[in-house]
C-alpha cells in the first residue's frame, strides 16, 4: 500500500479505520454497512405516493382480512348437513346475498341462499356450491354432493386483527401498498428519501447533447447512476461534470458534502496524476482507498465529506455500474432505513469456459437461454473490457464467481444475479 493509500481519519470514526492491503467484496461491504447512520426523519405519505419508500414503523392490522366469512364463488350457500353425500337434493332458493349486502335475517336449515363471490356468508351455512354444478328452476335448486366448507373463505384467513402485517424497514412494493390498503390504512409513516449528490470527473468527459471535440468522450456514468439512484427512490442533486483540477474537485466535494447523505462520484480515484478525487476527499474529511479483490471494479474510494458519506466509483462505465450494484446499492438501502438482504441469485448452467484468478471474485456479464429440455444456460458476453457498455445492454445479469473458484467449464453450475433483482 502506498502512502497516499493510507487512511486519513481526523474524525476518529472506527468504521473508517479498517485498513488492509486487499479486501474481499464481502469485507468491503461489511465495513461500508457498519459506517451507515440510517436516515431517521419520517414523513407521512398517502399510499399512492409511498411506492419504493421505506416503512418507519410496523403496521399492525386493526381488522381481520377477510373481515367476514364470504363466498369464494358465485353459487348457493347451504348447510352441509342438508346435503346428501350420495345423490343430489332439491332445496328452495329463499334469499339473495350480493357482495356488500349481508343477509338481514338469520339463515335457516333446509334453504339455499343465492350468493355471489365475496358476499358475506351469514352464520350457519358452511358450504358454497358453485352455480356451474347446480340447476335452478321454479324457485328451487338441485345441488349435488359437496364437501363441508367448500368454497367458503373464513374471516381472518389472510390477516388476523392485531397481526403485524408489515415491518419497519420494508421497502414498499405494489403488493405491500395493496396489503396496507386491505386493512384500511390509507397513509404510512416512511423515512425521508436519501439525499445523494452526484458528479462525474474527468477533463475528457462531456455532457451528451454538446459537441465533444478531439479526445473527448461523453459522460455515460452519471446517467447510469442517475437511473440506479432513481430506482432506489433517492433525491438526487446533480453536480454535473467536474474537471481534473484539484481546486474544482475540492470545491464541488465541499458543496456536495452538506445537505446530502451520500456523495457519489465516478472516475478520478485511480492512481494517475490527474486523479484528484481521493486527495480532495482526504483533505475535506476522511478517506479510505480500497483495493478490492473483484473484477471488474477496482478502484473504490470510501469515506466522509462534510455531513455525508462518500463513495468514489471507478470511471470505466461497466465497473462503475457493477460496483454500484455490489456496494452502493446496499449502502443506500441501509441509509434509507431499509432492511438489507443479499439479492436473490439463481443457479444456472455455464454454457462457456472461463479462466479465473483464485482469490478474486469475478462478475461476468451474461445472458440466459433455455434449452429444449428446459435447462437455463448462461452465456457470457464475448468482450470483457470494463468500458464495453454494450455488454451491459446485451446482458440480463451477472454471473457471480466466488473467490474460491479457479475457473469455469461448460456444464458447471454457476450463480446468476439477474439485473432485475437489483435495479430498483
Ligand atoms: P478514471 O477512473 O477517471 O481514470 O477513468 C477510467 C476510464 O473511465 C477512462 O477511460 C475514462 O475516460 C472513463 N470514464 C471516466 N468517467 C467516465 C464517465 N463519466 N463516462 C464514461 N467514461 C468515463
Ligand atoms: Mg478520470
54-80 pLDDT tens trace: 999 999 999 999 999 999 999 999 999
Query: Is 267 close to ligand 1, i.e. is its CB under 6 Å away?
Result: yes
Distance 241 CA to ligand 2 centre (A): 11
CB 230 within 8 A of CB 190: no
| Identical topology for domains 19-40+193-335 and 44-64+166-191 | no
pLDDT of the residue at 192: 98
pLDDT of the residue at 419: 98
Query: Is 200 close to ligand 1, i.e. is its CB under 6 Å away?
Result: yes
> What is the CATH number that goes with domain 70-153?
2.170.190.11
> What is the CATH number that goes with domain 19-40+193-335?
3.40.980.10
Q: What is the DSSP letter of 232?
A: T
| CATH class for the domain made up of 44-64+166-191 | alpha beta
263-280 pLDDT tens trace: 999 999 887 767 789 899
Hey, what's the cell of 221? 456514468
The domain ranges of the chain are 19-40+193-335, 44-64+166-191, 70-153, 346-421
Distance 219 CA to ligand 1 centre (A): 8
Distance 419 CA to ligand 1 centre (A): 22
Residue with cell 458534502: 257
* Alpha carbons 329 and 224: distance in angstroms, whole number: 13
Mean pLDDT within 83-92: 98
* Alpha carbons 241 and 237: distance in angstroms, whole number: 12
Distance 313 CA to ligand 1 centre (A): 10
Task: Compute the mean pLDDT over every residue in the chain, rounded to the nearest whole number.
Answer: 93
Bridge partners for 265 per DSSP: 199, 312
Query: Is 180 close to ligand 1, i.e. is its CB under 6 Å away?
Result: no
Bridge partners for 240 per DSSP: none
* Alpha carbons 304 and 8: distance in angstroms, whole number: 11
pLDDT of the residue at 273: 66
Domain 346-421 belongs to what topology? Answer: Beta-clip (2.40.340)
* Alpha carbons 17 and 20: distance in angstroms, whole number: 10
207-244 pLDDT tens trace: 999 999 999 999 999 999 999 999 999 999 999 999 99
Query: Is 297 close to ligand 1, i.e. is its CB under 6 Å away?
Result: no
Residue nearest to atom 11 of ligand 1 (CA): 315
298-353 pLDDT tens trace: 788 999 999 999 999 999 999 999 999 999 999 999 999 999 999 999 999 999 99
Selection from 371, 323, 325 nearest residue 348 by Cα:
371
Cα dihedral 108, 109, 114, 120 in deg (nearest 10): 60
Residue nearest to atom 5 of ligand 1 (CA): 315
Query: Is 315 close to ligand 1, i.e. is its CB under 6 Å away?
Result: yes
121-145 pLDDT tens trace: 999 999 999 999 999 999 999 999 9
342-385 pLDDT tens trace: 999 999 999 999 999 999 999 999 999 999 999 999 999 999 99
Q: Per the confidence metrics, is the pTM higher than 0.85?
A: yes
Amino acid at each position: 500500500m502506498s502512502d497516499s493509500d493510507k487512511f486519513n481519519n481526523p474524525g476518529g470514526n472506527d468504521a473508517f479505520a479498517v485498513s488492509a492491503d486487499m479486501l474481499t467484496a464481502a469485507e468491503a461491504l461489511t465495513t461500508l454497512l457498519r459506517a451507515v447512520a440510517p436516515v431517521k426523519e419520517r414523513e407521512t405519505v398517502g399510499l399512492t405516493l409511498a411506492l419504493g419508500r421505506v416503512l418507519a414503523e410496523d403496521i399492525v392490522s386493526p381488522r381481520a382480512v377477510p373481515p367476514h366469512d364470504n363466498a369464494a364463488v358465485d353459487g348457493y350457500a347451504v348447510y352441509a348437513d342438508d346435503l346428501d353425500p350420495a345423490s343430489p337434493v332439491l332445496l328452495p332458493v329463499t334469499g339473495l346475498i350480493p357482495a356488500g349486502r349481508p343477509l338481514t335475517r338469520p339463515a335457516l336449515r333446509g334453504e339455499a341462499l343465492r350468493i355471489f363471490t365475496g358476499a358475506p356468508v351469514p352464520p350457519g351455512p358452511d358450504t358454497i356450491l358453485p352455480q356451474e354444478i347446480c340447476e335452478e328452476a321454479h324457485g328451487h335448486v338441485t345441488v349435488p354432493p359437496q364437501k363441508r366448507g367448500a368454497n367458503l373463505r373464513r374471516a381472518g384467513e389472510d390477516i388476523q386483527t392485531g397481526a403485524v402485517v408489515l415491518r419497519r424497514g420494508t421497502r414498499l412494493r405494489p403488493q405491500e401498498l395493496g396489503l396496507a390498503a386491505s386493512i384500511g390504512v390509507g397513509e404510512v409513516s416512511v423515512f425521508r428519501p436519501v439525499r445523494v449528490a452526484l458528479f462525474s470527473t474527468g477533463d475528457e468527459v462531456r455532457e451528451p447533447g454538446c459537441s465533444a471535440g478531439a479526445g473527448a468522450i461523453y459522460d455515460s456514468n452519471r446517467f447510469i447512476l442517475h437511473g440506479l439512484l432513481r430506482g432506489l427512490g433517492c433525491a438526487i442533486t446533480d453536480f454535473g461534470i467536474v474537471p481534473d483540477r484539484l481546486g474544482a474537485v475540492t470545491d464541488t466535494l465541499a458543496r456536495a458534502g452538506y445537505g446530502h447523505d451520500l456523495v457519489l462520484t465516478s472516475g478520478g480515484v485511480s492512481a494517475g496524476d490527474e486523479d484528484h478525487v481521493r486527495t480532495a476527499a482526504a483533505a475535506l474529511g476522511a478517506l479510505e482507498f480500497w483495493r478490492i479483490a473483484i473484477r471488474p471494479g477496482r478502484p473504490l474510494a470510501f469515506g466522509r465529506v462534510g455531513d455525508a458519506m462518500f463513495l468514489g466509483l471507478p470511471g470505466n462505465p461497466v465497473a462503475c455500474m457493477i460496483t454500484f450494484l455490489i456496494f452502493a446499492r446496499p449502502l443506500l438501502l441501509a441509509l434509507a432505513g431499509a432492511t438489507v438482504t443479499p439479492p436473490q441469485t439463481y443457479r444456472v448452467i455455464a454454457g462457456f469456459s472461463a479462466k479465473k484468478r483464485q482469490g478474486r471474485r469475478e462478475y461476468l456479464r451474461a445472458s440466459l437461454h433455455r434449452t429444449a429440455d428446459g435447462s437455463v444456460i448462461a452465456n457470457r458476453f464475448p468482450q470483457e473490457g470494463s468500458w464495453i457498455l454494450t455488454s451491459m445492454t446485451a446482458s440480463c445479469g451477472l454471473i457471480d464467481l466466488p473467490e474460491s473458484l479457479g475457473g469455469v467449464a461448460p456444464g458447471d453450475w454457476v450463480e446468476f444475479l439477474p439485473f432485475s433483482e437489483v435495479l430498483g
